[in-house]
Amino acid sequence: MGDKNINITLPDGSVRSYEAGVTGLEVADSIAKSLAKAAVGVKINGVLSDLSLPIQADAKVEIVRRQDDAALEMIRHDAAHVMAEAVQKLYPGTQVTIGPSIENGFYYDFARNEPFSTEDFPAIEKEMRKIIERGAPFTREVWDRDEAIKYFKNKGENYKAELIQDLPETEEIKIYKQGEWTDLCRGPHMPTTKHVGNAFKLLKVAGAYWRGDSNKAMLTRIYATAWRDEKEMNDYLHMLEEAEKRDHRKLGKEMDLFHLQEEAQGSVFWHPKGYVIYNQMENYIRRRLNDSGYQEVKTPQLIDNKLWIASGHWGKFRENMFVVPDEIPSTDDEKNIFGGKFEKLMALKPMNCPAHVQIFKQGLKSYRDLPLRLAEFGCCHRNEAHGALHGLMRVRQMTQDDAHIFCREDQITQEAQAFCKLLYAVYRDLGFSDVKIRLALRPENKAGDDATWDRAEAGLEDALKAQGLAYELAPGEGAFYGPKLEFHLKDAIGRGWQCGTLQLDFVLPERLDATYIGEDGGRHRPVMLHRAILGTLERFIGIMIENYAGKLPLWLAPVQCVVATITSEADGYADEVAGKLKALGLRVETDKRNEKINYKVREHSLAKVPVMFVVGAREAAEQTVAIRRLGSQDQSVQPLPSAAESLAGEAKPPY
RNA sequence: GCUGCCGUAGCUCAGUGGUAGAGCACCCCCUUGGUAAGGGGGAGGUCGGAAGUUCAAUCCUUCUCGGCAGCACCA
């Protein structure tokens, strides 16, 4: 190298000429010494790389300084290496495996007979600080594959050796060293360990399968967070605390909304207050669906496995189903409860679709009947793994805001479009404006021919384009029966949740033999669209609780107003006020306890009651109420009739 | 399901190889107080369950059930 010149385009658009083989550091140095000093990496044509990597061809080059966003990934990845070195120093015999940077931090998976505990963290962090302080440079080498395998095997690093073995033949075996410590790594790294800085913290230990495969060994994973400076890290740690405060399981208990208990693992006991929210949500969606051309149905819980065999669920979904023999259980304690022949099996429905097809199939359907939109607040049971259960977010008995649209292929785009519109309107009403869409395309293992898939994918994509909705493609992630749209919403503290979905299905109508009579008088196959907006009521309510930190909008609040007395003289008037509010359809409670108003205010504030009407002798005499809103110290005194009317107006659901 | 941690009063938690404690909540009494905890008293637990070690187990051991975190799976 050396005799050829290349053009480097900088972020400001300027183009400079360098000898081929120039490094990012040299480019930085040629721009400004200070830039070279601040540089930790370089983006070459958008790809983050080592500063020392020779650039051989024309490229767009962007120097990454430690304070740049792009440096976070390097800080975290380097910190992972530093942690691995520290762990191997402190706990000899521990094998290193992989340790990537992730959102907000990094982790490293170790193989060690004895697991780590959080009590090991201070020692590991201390050792990490030493390694960082030492500031050994990260150096990059390319090794011969067999030599590398031999090297790691000799060191007893069998997982690393396996990784190298499985790297594609075309891939270089890159080794990074930081002082004495050596690791197989794809890179890139910053110049020295010193650049990691001090803003890192080990957070938790957890098990993780080698290569994410539940049949393989369980490793110990250490999670940590790392940032450019302490302030950034503290902001993140505060966010974690905030998330913990908003935990719907905690709030659900505090607000007396629901509970779970071991006799019904994964199924919710809704308390009166929680069920108010549930019913409000369900009724809201019901009104939305009614006005959008859906017809509500209700289908059986227990269905013969014949239908599940026909639908394909028996084959593909059985391990997630609750199966029951259709047999009278024996009451004789000496005998088995069931005879053991299981000639006839039933299953609790895990999905509503096959049942909806049964309704579609009753009587002859004409093309004039399409699109036929059947909605159901379908109560489904899924036999979820115990370890997967999580409050309201992951349950075994769930109620979907489910519907199936039976239509012709040429109606897909318009139906998809109408659905997106409805979904956005609902999310907006419920307080979510940040929604991301993924279009999941055909997987390798799929039913139906390519021409059909072409039309199906185009149908969904056209619907998105027609509405100017941004989306991301997810190749290979579609269901075997058709492509789908996934809607991910972002909550108040930035976490994403997949809720809505729209799935095209060409397979089920075929398997269950659904047909309609077309204009030509012949039988045709309808296309089926599976769709949900909330996903499940349980989970969505969990998301709502966390999004609003329990302070639900007035129309959803279990108790919308508490009428609290200052002295017992106002008891009669408090009842009068509550009666008036109730008559206007509000959910009201009175608090006439022998307690001071401070105490009552505090208690109802903690219970997240949105509005309090405080009444004493004065209000009783003047027929007014002193209004106090959750989260505000202000009070305003208003005549009862106008206060009640305006609160009732405010409490109307958004639709 | 897998790995790790945890399981004491309704809730949040302390504690010890010699059969348990706080705060809040609950009940009673005093207090009628103007916007985030007025005072006093009382009741409440076979320390998740089973087995073992021990003179003695809530504490140590094993098993089991459940919870939590992560993994795998997923709405």
Over the stretch A602-654, which tens digit does the pLDDT of each residue have?
999 999 999 999 999 999 999 999 999 998 999 999 999 999 999 999 999 99
pLDDT given at position A3: 64
Alpha carbon distance A533, A423 (integer Å): 6
Residue numbers 450-469 of A with CB closer than 7 A to any atom of strand B: none
> Does residue A364 have a pLDDT over 90?
yes
Span CA (A119) to C1' (B56), Å: 33
% of chain A exceeding 90 in pLDDT: 72
pLDDT given at position A345: 93
> Does residue A332 have a pLDDT over 90?
no
Query: Residue range A63-87: average pLDDT?
Result: 93
Instruction: Measure Cα distances from A655 to A279, A400, A418, A501 in Å.
Output: 14, 20, 17, 22
A425 beta carbon to strand B: under 7 Å: no
pLDDT given at position A169: 84
pLDDT given at position A333: 76
pLDDT given at position A128: 94
Query: Residue range A69-77: average pLDDT?
Result: 93
Rg, Å, chain A Cα set: 31
Indicate the pLDDT class of residue A1, thresholds 50, 70 and 90.
very low
Query: Residue range A18-29: average pLDDT?
Result: 91
pLDDT given at position A240: 87
pLDDT given at position A343: 82
Alpha carbon distance A71, A74 (integer Å): 5
A384 beta carbon to strand B: under 7 Å: yes
Any idea which of A267-281, A485-499, A528-542 has the lowest mean pLDDT? A485-499
- A116 touches A222 (CB < 8 A): yes
Over the stretch A94-150, which tens digit does the pLDDT of each residue have?
999 999 999 889 999 999 877 788 888 888 999 999 999 999 999 998 999 999 999
Query: Residue range A361-373: average pLDDT?
Result: 96
Cis peptide bond upstream of A100, omega within 30: no
Which of helix, strand or coil describes residue A45? coil
Contacts of A584 (CB under 8 A, 6+ apart): A644, A645, A647, A648
Task: Name the average pLDDT for chain A.
Answer: 92
A635 beta carbon to strand B: under 7 Å: yes
Span CA (A610) to C1' (B13), Å: 30
The residues of A that are catalytic are 353, 382, 400, 402, 404, 484, 530
Sort strands A269-270 and A258-259 into parallel, antiparallel or unpaired. Answer: antiparallel
Quick one: tokens of A296?
Answer: 């509500």
Nucleotide whose C1' lies closest to the alpha carbon of residue A615: B34
Closest protein residue to B4 using CA and C1' atoms? A206
**Which of chain B's bases lie under 7 Å from a protein CB?**
1-5, 11-12, 30-38, 65-75
The neighbouring-strand residues paired with A473 are A439
Nucleotide whose C1' lies closest to the alpha carbon of residue A221: B70
Residue numbers 558-617 of A with CB closer than 7 A to any atom of strand B: 565-569, 594-599, 601-602, 605-606, 612, 614-617
Alpha carbon distance A84, A263 (integer Å): 43
pLDDT given at position A138: 92
Sort strands A258-259 and A323-325 into parallel, antiparallel or unpaired. Answer: unpaired
pLDDT given at position A478: 86
Residue numbers 87-106 of A with CB closer than 7 A to any atom of strand B: none
Report the alpha-carbon angle A140-A224-A542, nearest 5: 135
Closest protein residue to B36 using CA and C1' atoms? A602
Residue numbers 196-215 of A with CB closer than 7 A to any atom of strand B: 204-209, 212-214
A639 beta carbon to strand B: under 7 Å: no
Alpha carbon distance A116, A84 (integer Å): 13
Span CA (A599) to C1' (B22), Å: 22
Is the pTM higher than 0.95? no
Query: Residue range A425-437: average pLDDT?
Result: 94
Query: Residue range A377-398: average pLDDT?
Result: 94
> Does residue A152 have a pLDDT over 80?
yes
Over the stretch A172-197, which tens digit does the pLDDT of each residue have?
899 999 988 998 888 899 999 999 99
pLDDT given at position A323: 93
CA atoms within 13 A on the CB side of A247: 10
pLDDT given at position A262: 87
* Of residues A398 and A167, more confidently modeled: A398
Residue numbers 237-266 of A with CB closer than 7 A to any atom of strand B: 249, 253, 260, 262, 265
- A572 touches A521 (CB < 8 A): no
Span CA (A201) to C1' (B26), Å: 43
pLDDT given at position A244: 86
Quick one: tokens of A583?
Answer: 């008559």
Over the stretch A437-480, which tens digit does the pLDDT of each residue have?
999 998 877 777 888 888 889 989 999 999 999 999 988 888 88
A313 beta carbon to strand B: under 7 Å: no
A477 beta carbon to strand B: under 7 Å: no
The total of other beta-carbon atoms located within 10 Å of residue A409's CB is 16
Span CA (A450) to C1' (B22), Å: 70
A632 beta carbon to strand B: under 7 Å: no
pLDDT given at position A66: 92
Over the stretch A481-523, which tens digit does the pLDDT of each residue have?
889 999 999 887 777 889 999 999 988 999 999 999 999 999 9
Strand arrangement, sheet containing A39-44 = A15-19, A5-9, A59-65, A39-44, A47-49
Span CA (A595) to C1' (B31), Å: 9
